[in-house]
Amino acid sequence: MLLDKDRIVLNVFLVTIWIWCTIGFVSEEMIPGLLPLRSGVYFLVDAIIMALGLIVLRNWKDWIFVLSFLVVGYHITCVHNEYSVAYYLNGLRDFLYLSSLIPIFRYLYKSRISDDFVRLFDKSLYAFLIVQAVCVTFQFLKYGANDHGGGSMGNGYSGIVTILIYVVSFYLMKKRMNPEKYLGSLIANKWLVILLYPTFLNETKISFIFFVMYFLLMLPLKKESLMRVIFAVPILVAGVYLAFNVYLSATGNKDDITDLSYYMEGYLMADESGDILNWAEYLYERGELEADGSSDIPRFTKYMLMPEINASYPGHDITGYGIGQFKGGTMMPSSKFYQDNEWMLRGSVPYGFHMIIQMGLFAVIYFVWFCLRIYSLREKGTKAEIGIQLFLWIMVVVFIFYNDFFRYTFACAIFLYVFIQSLRWHTQENVVKLN
């Protein structure tokens, strides 16, 4: 019996994603003996995704994109910044979504089992929501509301799991939504709304933004729906008020989270003025900023530090400091640049900062190119689902300024699948509804 290549690719892809997004919880809470092996497992599944992407690479435009990225990344890292090939290959793991995911999705969507692929992936998404509800609830009861609430991904992934829960629930709800019966559809599929509750148990404050977006963008975007929007606003306000109270009671948070300055100072920008690099070094010398990253510099402040950093390391404005600056320390040593600037590179890292530090202006070019390549997967004869598109694009902007979501291949795979599905949307009568 001949091997079915299409099914092998599909099964390997799905199993690899599940391993990546469950090994954290399993090793922390179920089989502690796996903890020392976890980094090796991450390395292995990344290698499998990289190999799978190259094996199924068929489209000539994908070839140009992938090869040019690999060559430019090699030149920046190994030639311009003089790092080893091993260091470069390890750093590539942070950019697997650029080099591997589109070829894999293109192959599966064009294969003879494309319907099976969509059906199995959708079922996996249903299972994903249930697994996260169980894991986050367990973590909340054991550790309280903090970064331990990373769901099946484990400690430190609270922001990632929150984003994925909203993306998955929104997509599945859209597939079951009757545009003419907004409230009726929400009530009929209330379990998808109920499964959002883990996002209020892990102290991820951006949940409130996603919560509002979820219900507003679920509305059909037509002029006729204006009255529905008007009627929905009071319900939405009541829902947000309820969510705030659930969040405050669950986390025991005493900060005034309705005050804009709370977010500006704690998450986006420091309130100090003047030479910000000297300010950071001053805090470090006083012991108020730990070199190991246990003190977290606000996100926008990191962007503001970049001109000062580039002035201290001439010749890196356009090219960055090489792929792999956020890797190392476990299987291979960190870079000299990272060791000198760990106080800035550790902690919460906006994805725009993450890209520019490593590849400079080239990172921006490749990210925009990648976004354009996604639209080549649109299916002829189908219309894009505008609500999902807006939901995901707003999230992309959030990632650039808020967190490093795109570093995690399994998360990118789920996000990209939903994005591609929204480009290949069918009419309500043709949407597959799973039992």
- Structural domain boundaries of the chain? 5-55+113-256+378-423
Of 7-16, 277-286, 328-337, 361-370, the least confident: 277-286
For residue 303, how far is the Cα from the chain centroid?
20
Residue type present at position 313: Y
CA distances from 141 to 33, 121, 249, 364 (A): 23, 30, 13, 41
Per-residue model confidence (pLDDT) at position 270: 47
CA distances from 237 to 77, 131, 173, 231 (A): 50, 29, 20, 11
Looking at the whole model, is its pTM more than 0.75? yes
Q: What is the largest CA-CA distance in the chain?
A: 71
What average pLDDT does this structure show over 361-374?
93
Mean of all residue pLDDT scores within the chain: 82
Of 133-142, 148-157, 256-265, 301-310, the least confident: 256-265
| Phi, psi (degrees; rounded to nearest 5) at 22 | -125, -15
Alpha helices in 269-427 (DSSP H): 276-286, 299-312, 336-340, 342-345, 351-374, 386-401, 409-423
Of residues 66, 71, 70, 64, the one with CA closest to residue 92: 70
Quickly tell me which residue has 């484990």 as its tokens: 154
If one compares 187 and 284, the residue with the highest pLDDT of the two is 187
- To the nearest 10 degrees (0 to 180), the angle between helices 299-312 and 276-286 is 100
Q: Are 242 and 269 in contact (CB under 8 A)?
A: no
CA distances from 355 to 81, 104, 318 (A): 16, 23, 12
Per-residue model confidence (pLDDT) at position 242: 63
- Tens-digit pLDDT profile for residues 402-419: 888 988 888 999 999 999
Of residues 329, 409, 417, the one with CA closest to residue 20: 409
Between the two ends of the chain, the Cα-to-Cα distance in Å is 33
Q: What is the DSSP letter of 35?
A: G
Q: Assess whether pLDDT exceeds 80 at residue 156.
A: yes
Q: What is the DSSP letter of 92?
A: G
Q: Assess whether pLDDT exceeds 50 at residue 271.
A: no
What average pLDDT does this structure show over 142-167?
89
CA distances from 165 to 170, 199, 339, 405 (A): 8, 8, 35, 13
Q: Assess whether pLDDT exceeds 60 at residue 327.
A: yes
Of residues 224, 7, 220, the one with CA closest to residue 117: 7
- Tens-digit pLDDT profile for residues 19-58: 999 999 999 999 998 888 898 899 899 999 999 999 999 8
Per-residue model confidence (pLDDT) at position 188: 92
Q: Are 353 and 325 in contact (CB under 8 A)?
A: no
Of 41-55, 261-275, 417-431, the least confident: 261-275
What average pLDDT does this structure show over 182-189?
89
Each as own residue / partner, the long-range contacts of residues 142-148 (CB below 8 Å, 24 or more positions apart, any chain) are 144/251, 144/252, 145/201, 145/202, 145/203, 145/250, 145/251, 145/252, 145/253, 146/202, 146/203, 147/202, 147/203, 148/202
Per-residue model confidence (pLDDT) at position 94: 87
Please, which pLDDT band fits residue 74 given cuts at 50, 70 and 90?
very high
If one compares 253 and 93, the residue with the highest pLDDT of the two is 93
CA distances from 30 to 164, 259, 292, 347 (A): 23, 40, 29, 27
Per-residue model confidence (pLDDT) at position 223: 52
- Tens-digit pLDDT profile for residues 122-134: 999 999 999 999 9
Please, which pLDDT band fits residue 273 given cuts at 50, 70 and 90?
very low
Per-residue model confidence (pLDDT) at position 280: 56
Per-residue model confidence (pLDDT) at position 371: 92
